[in-house]
Chains A and B, each alone.
Chain A
Amino acid sequence: VSSVTQAAGVRAGRRTRGTRPIWQETPHRTTVAGKGLAVGLVVALVVVPFWTVLMTSLSPSAEVIRNGGWSLWPDHFTLTAYHTIFASGIVGHAVVISVAITFVGTTLSLGATVMLAYALSRPNVLGGKPVMLGILFCFLLPAGMIPSFLIVSDMHLLNHYSALIAPVLISAFNLVILRGAFQAVPAELYEAARLDGAGEVRTMLLIALPLSKAIVAVVGFYYAVGYWNSFFNAILYLNDQNTWPLSAVLREYVIAGASSDSANASAEVLASAPQTITMATVVIATVPILCVYPFLQRYFTKGMLTGAIKS
């Protein structure tokens, strides 16, 4: 370590005061300003579009038209777009459905994935290899829409909420990630647990899971976002729009009016969705995930550090 410090000190030349490594130096003011500018720019790239979306959704339609489709600060705020969306009651209902599907789906998916990943991560499990191969096979070559539909239909899941969860219960991608995390737990710990008399279930719950908390949280977040955003299965498997989750319902608000301008179809595209409604839709769909994110962020940081330091 000391040779590295010395080398850094030599290279840094006249900036070096004493023997501190370069990253412990007080940075120059221009450096700080430059960093601030760069970070500010990146933050602005993320915040400004979302701010525009939010403000446009709160603007009167006429003002948005005057401005050419957007607004950064409305002359007067209005909730008309939100009233329009929630008026029929179908969106409010869809929010409840989405929250329930996301909660139940994530819980079941996470539970199932953890159990399967743990089993497949242990060496010498009977049938472990063929099962893993089978899973990867399905991952690489998904069955396609119609065969999936026929299976769901034959299992009498059509028009039932379980059709939104059962077909996507375990994601092979998440499974592989979790399995890798469980395999990364030192074998000595598993061995110690076994010597202490723990069975597989106890080892999974008390050794593997706590040591992989960060990854489990990230996988759970993937599942939750997946359930929250998924609309296609609802459109395929649920015939009654009144039973659709939020993403499927909001999608219709966004595409209503945005459809083709071909001569024959546009008879139906009379009530073009004003920009304000589209933007309000984006806000409604994004806010819940934004609310959950801060609670999971620390796990993301940890997840990123996993494996960075060799013990």
Chain B
Amino acid sequence: MSPFSRRSLLRTVGATAISALTAPSLTACGSANGSKTIDNAKGKLAPWPTYLPHNLVAPDLRGDGNFVQDAFLTYPAKLVPSVADKPGDGSVVTAIVLSYGAPPTPKDQSKLWQAINQALGVDLRLTIVPAADAPAKYATMMASGDLPDIIATVDPNSVADSLQFIQAKCADLTPYLSGDAIRQYPNLAGIPPYAWQTMGQLGDKIYGVPVTRSRIGGQLYGNQAELAGAGISGTAVTIEQFTSGIGQLTAGKKYGLIGAGGWNQGWHAQSFGVPNGWQLKNGTFTSQYETPQYAEMLKTLADWFAKGYYYPDTLTTQLPQAKVLFLNGTAATIGDGFAGFKYYVTAAQGSPLVVDFVRPYHVTGTSPVAYVGGGIATGFGTALKQAPPARIKMLLRVLDYLTAPFGSTEYELLNFGVDGVHFTRDPGTGAPLPTALWKGGENTTNLPLGLIAGPSIPLFYNGAPDATKRAFQAQKDLSPLGVSNPALGLISATNSKRSSSLGAILQSAVNDIVTGKQSASSWDSVVKQWKTDGGDKIAAEYAAQYAAANKA
């Protein structure tokens, strides 16, 4: 028999409900912090760091410093040091960083970690957080106030108030980095201006160092010979040709298209001229979902699905499985990030498979675009805990070392490890060839220093100069079509809170339409619902932020 009466239970629940209701307001009082604001509207931006591109080693194919990256067909014959002195002072330096890899070999056993510590002149201690758990880990770190020296930040949209936190608790780096002050750190001065600008400033101050990435985004890859045989080759393919091409590639247990839990609609949208995320006109933000081109694209995808061009289990397939199905020929094409190309190049080495970039096709009445990103790794760059100037300078020298460019001795250590231990040299080209130790896990995917700081990585695929040329040509073809997302760098509180649930509703509607469970005409009402559920609010918040930033 229960010792509780129904009334006492109700009392308990009631009391808890009240405490649950009052709790948020109490925390709200607590977090209202003084006069500082992260907006840059009221003052004037601090001068951006001077851009001093590296000229250590001349690239074989010169990029444009923006959308097209420098490319190296062979490994540089002679490496050059990019840092004059050992940056560290022998002290312990703690850092928190994301990881997309497996756990690294412990420091006392890892020759890689030890060599890097030796070269940096510090005892680097890392808190490595699996990317999937980063929001929780960072939220608790912020709550405890116990910060490591170096904080490689996460997407500000995934952790509430993280930008306010950086402004309140991290070091203002403006005096060290703004304008010509950055000359003290030559490798940091090689970070392209777009990376700094994407990162942005907080209250007109520089609070971080960005980790540069390629700006050209998601791609559709395919087997070059197979695609050419089906008439999909070059930049002038029309949607009719594309449709008939993937139709030819679909036969028996082979499919023209595969997605990983989706339909690669992000890639196809480019061909239909759909805006990159948002469209900005006269200060008003319009979502890509509201455009007629998006609805048109859904109709086409549904048509392809009905014809059986998509791998039937696309919705339950994840990227690693999709890669397997692409490599064994089940799927003729696959969608992946630009950097994902390296995987296919490595996987195809020693086989006749030549993986190439499919260019956006042409749809009557519109012209294709190519989505470009902000060019930095997720997050707000790398921030430093507040400390005396001498220590900040030392930590910036460590970041400077980690940003050593391709062709420097430091880059080789940070990306290939120790000569004779982690790699041997190709007798012909001198390029580093990874040893079993590196392949077995003692590598910089698992020791993710590249996510703390890193240079803009050139196009270079070891032993595959043709792949480098293909990637370079793809970037050259896509760069005139480049369109960025106008909401990039703007923060919407509604988006932070609701983007995942709102996105899930849209994705499920897209799935229903593509798979034929709903008619394409139902999309309008879905978008309307999305707008009332938060889409309109997100647009308004972006517009307000945009207006504030452009007031002065």
Contact = CB atoms under 8 A, between A and B. Distances in A.
Interface string B318-333: 1111011101101000
Given A88-B109, A264-B376, 16 more contacts: A68-B328, A87-B440, A88-B442, A90-B106, A236-B137, A241-B104, A242-B103, A257-B100, A263-B214, A263-B338, A264-B217, A264-B377, A270-B346, A271-B101, A274-B320, A275-B321
A296 interface: no
A146 B30 CA distance: 15
A87 B337 contact: no
Contacts of B128: 241
A89 B106 contact: yes
Interface of A: 64-69, 83-84, 87-90, 93, 128-129, 132-133, 136-137, 140-141, 145-146, 149-150, 153, 232, 235-236, 239-242, 244, 249, 251-253, 255-259, 261-275, 278
B140 A145 contact: yes
Nearest to B11: A133
B14 to A, nearest CB: 12
Q: Which of B109, B319, B451 is most buried by chain A, counting CB atoms within 10 A of its CB?
A: B319
A110 B106 CA distance: 34
Given A132-B3, A265-B377, A232 B12 contact: no
Interface string B128-154: 111111001101100110100000000
Contacts of A140: 12-13, 16
Interface in B368-424: 371, 373-374, 376-378
B124 to A, nearest CB: 13
Given A153-B146, A270-B445, A263 B140 contact: no
Contact of A259 (B8, B127, B131): B131
B445 A249 contact: no
Contact of A258 (B213, B318, B339, B441): B318
Contact of A235 (B8, B129, B338): B129
A61 to B, nearest CB: 9
Nearest to B441: A88
A271 to B, nearest CB: 5
Contact of B328 (A65, A83, A253): A65
A56 to B, nearest CB: 11
A68 B330 contact: yes
Contacts of B140: 145-146, 149, 236
B471 to A, nearest CB: 13
**Lowest 5 A-B CB distances belong to which pairs?**
A266-B337, A263-B217, A267-B339, A268-B100, A149-B140
Interface string B177-200: 000000000000000000000000
Contacts of A66: 328
Nearest to A61: B324
B260 to A, nearest CB: 6
B157 interface: no
Contact of A271 (B16, B335, B442, B443): B443
Main secondary structure of the interface of B (DSSP, over half): mixed
A236 B129 CA distance: 9
A267 to B, nearest CB: 4
27 contacts: A65-B324, A68-B325, A68-B330, A88-B105, A88-B440, A88-B441, A90-B104, A133-B8, A137-B16, A140-B16, A153-B144, A235-B136, A236-B136, A252-B102, A252-B103, A256-B100, A256-B101, A261-B319, A261-B336, A262-B218, A263-B338, A266-B340, A268-B448, A269-B339, A270-B340, A271-B101, A272-B323
Contacts of A153: 144, 146
Nearest to A243: B106
Given A244-B103, A252-B99, A69 B324 contact: yes
A236 B143 CA distance: 12
Given A136-B12, A149-B143, A263-B217, A269 B136 contact: no
B137 A263 contact: no
B288 to A, nearest CB: 16
Contacts of A242: 103, 106-107
A273 B143 CA distance: 33
Contacts of B132: 255, 259
Nearest to A144: B23
A135 to B, nearest CB: 11
Interface in B421-448: 440-443, 445, 448
Contacts of A93: 106
A126 B391 CA distance: 58
Nearest to A269: B100
Contacts of B443: 271
A258 B320 contact: yes
B4 A145 contact: no
Given A89-B109, A146-B143, A265-B337, A253 B324 contact: no
Of A232, A241, A242, A268, the most chain B CB neighbours within 10 A belong to A268
B156 to A, nearest CB: 14
Contact of A267 (B99, B146, B371, B457): B457
Interface in B23-72: none
Nearest to A239: B127
Contacts of A88: 102-106, 109, 440-442
Contacts of B552: none
Contacts of A235: 129-130, 133, 136-137
Contact of B337 (A150, A253, A267): A267
Nearest to A123: B3
B173 to A, nearest CB: 22
Contact of A252 (B130, B146, B378): B130
A267 B377 contact: yes
B77 interface: no
Contacts of A239: 127
Contact of B101 (A87, A89, A90, A252): A252
A64 to B, nearest CB: 7
Contacts of A256: 100-102, 445
B327 A65 contact: yes
Contacts of B457: 267
Given A87-B440, A146-B139, A275-B321, A133 B101 contact: no
B427 to A, nearest CB: 25
A262 B106 contact: no
B75 to A, nearest CB: 18
B440 A84 contact: yes
A236 B441 CA distance: 24
A272 B343 contact: yes
B342 interface: yes
Interface centre among B101, B107, B346, B378 (most CB of A within 10 A): B101
Nearest to B372: A263
Nearest to B101: A256
B87 interface: no
B203 interface: no
A114 to B, nearest CB: 19
Contacts of A266: 336-340
Contact of A268 (B328, B374, B451): B451
A241 B99 CA distance: 11
B20 interface: yes
B320 A273 contact: yes
Contacts of B273: none
A145 B143 CA distance: 10
